[in-house]
Amino acid sequence: MKVYSLTVRNRFTATLLALAVLGAGAALLVVGFALLASLAVAGGVIGSGIVLYHRLRGTRPTLPGAMAWREMPLDPSLEVFPDARNTTDRSLPAGTDNG
């Protein structure tokens, strides 16, 4: 495996190189924050537009499929934890202990 190293003997050149590396890091940090800020602004503009659209139309915004759970009938056979009163010892195989 090759190992690369950088040796700078001149103090002025080493200082310039360190400042260049720090400047590049700061520039990347600023660009990253600018991208995050632009995403936040774009989300706010899109959300405000959707709210304004629904206010002008007089409707309430709903998520897709948000009302589907109200239309589904409840099925007791699909319970994950059935009530202990509904279980009987007859459901256990012969010779097994209940507790």
Give CB contacts under 8 A, 24+ apart, made by 17-22.
none
pLDDT tens digits, 40-99: 999 999 999 999 999 999 988 777 666 666 666 777 777 777 666 655 555 555 555 555
Query: pTM of the prediction?
Result: 0.50
Structure confidence at residue 84 (pLDDT): 62
pLDDT tens digits, 5-42: 888 889 999 999 999 999 999 999 999 999 999 999 99
Distance CA 46, CA 48 (A): 5
* Cα torsion 56, 62, 65, 68: sign: negative
Structure confidence at residue 90 (pLDDT): 55
